[in-house]
Structure 1
Amino acid sequence: MTEPAGHGAAVPAGPHEEPFEGPWLLEPVPKVVVKADLLPAVSTASLIALLGIPLGWLWSLLAPAQAGVLLADGTLASMPLASYHAFDALALFLLLGFTAGVLVAAVLWMSRRRRGPVLLLAGVVGAALSGWLAMTLGASFAAAAHPVPPTAAPGDLIQEAPAIGTAWALLAQPFGLTLGYGLCASWNGLDDLGRRGA
């Protein structure tokens, strides 16, 4: 008759059984680090937000202008075919924002010592601010690049500055960042995302 296994010991396995290890032998799940990552997260969000300046400038260069006819009241009436450029400007802004979000996610993932939900949340906040800055400054840059001529008369053909027709475009960059960071985390598969090996 065999003696019972002591506390913490593995139970002897039979001829066709795998050895059973109790839950006391498993490694504890690492907890989320918040306090140590808080200051780097604020710095990360601020740095990502500044990315909106070059994004807005690049969009203002690439987005096509819309041809319109100057009316007597000073407003512009868009030409029938030129109205398609409104979609082009929006699609270009979404593409730039999504691409920037994915690239920023790859850069954040390389910061191995700070991996985790705190850095992800900081990245999402910074990406949202970056999108708002890109939309605001991009419209200003585009308006400066396509001013209405002071000598324009009613009936003249005017190149109208491109515009982003919806505020939902702000979600492109945070979505790209979340998707990229989430794919990296799911591919990693470690409970601490590799922080302890840094």
Structure 2
Amino acid sequence: MVDSAGKAAHRSSAVAEGWSVPVLFPPQRPRVVVKADLLPAVSVLSTAALLGIPMGWLWSLLAPAERVRVIGTNGQLAPLELESWHRFDDLAVFGFLAMATGLLIGLVVWFLRERRGPVVLVAAAGGALVAAWLGTQMGPAFANSKYSVDAPPALGAVLEQAPRIETGWVVLAAPLVTCLVYALMTAWNGREDLGRRLG
């Protein structure tokens, strides 16, 4: 009786420990491809950077101008009541455009299935950063040409001052959203090679 109970206990412990099947050829984990992705990464970076030109042009159309009054003969300007709020509006509009650009770059780069990986992600984030910086340069240039003053204004005249971007930190919105979108798509994919072999 004791012997049979010992055999049953031994059998149950073997089942609890589990059985392992020997694998002759264990599957290799996919490695990060660097060399083959360098040229596509350069293409991604340069193409994404060009989005800064339409982003700056669109910002110059959407950003509100600040109405100011000429209060001095030497060109001193003072904003009208509540008009100084447009300084924040200009920055917020550019921030939303930068985030939309980062979202677009992240999604498009993700659909390059055969090039998924950290190399193209770094290139996409760099392209988004360059695009946002280019937008901060081109946007005010477009706006200044739109609100240019041909003749010296008279004292007391009300002018529309071109919108401007007063901080450079807003350029970080585009690459941050690009990385966030790519990370979310990577987590949603769940494959070790991110589906590269299915391309």
TM-score of the two chains, using structure 2 as the length reference: 0.87
Residue 181 of structure 2: aligned partner? 180
| Cα distance in 2 for residues equivalent to 1:54 and 1:24 | 56
- The percentage of aligned residue pairs carrying the same residue is 45
TM-score of the two chains, using structure 1 as the length reference: 0.88
* 1:78 CA displacement: 1.8
* 1:99 CA displacement: 1.0
Residue 66 of structure 2: aligned partner? 66
Deviation string 1:111-148 (CA, Å, 9 cap, x unpaired) is 00000000000001111110011110000001111112
- Structure 1 runs (4+) deviating above 6 angstroms are none
Residue 52 of structure 1: aligned partner? 52
Q: Alpha carbons of 1:24 and 1:66: their partners in 2 closer, same or farther (altered >3 Å)?
A: farther
* 1:194 CA displacement: 0.7
Deviation string 1:156-180 (CA, Å, 9 cap, x unpaired) is 1110000111000111111111111
Matched to 2:49, the amino acid is A
* 1:15 CA displacement: 4.2
* 1:149 CA displacement: 4.2
Q: Alpha carbons of 1:103 and 1:22: their partners in 2 closer, same or farther (altered >3 Å)?
A: farther
Deviation string 1:69-116 (CA, Å, 9 cap, x unpaired) is 123222322223001011111001000110111111111111000000
Rg: which structure is higher?
2
Residue 37 of structure 2: aligned partner? 37
Residue 6 of structure 1: aligned partner? none
Residue 195 of structure 2: aligned partner? 194
Gaps of 5+ in 2: 1-12
- Alignment: residue pair count: 186
| Cα distance in 2 for residues equivalent to 1:95 and 1:72 | 38
Q: Alpha carbons of 1:151 and 1:72: their partners in 2 closer, same or farther (altered >3 Å)?
A: closer
Q: Is the 8 A contact 1:113 1:195 kept in 2?
A: yes
SS in 1 for 2:197: coil
| Cα distance in 2 for residues equivalent to 1:130 and 1:15 | 60
Residue 86 of structure 1: aligned partner? 87
Matched to 1:36, the amino acid is A
| Cα distance in 2 for residues equivalent to 1:190 and 1:15 | 31
* 1:29 CA displacement: 1.6
Gaps of 5+ in 1: 1-12
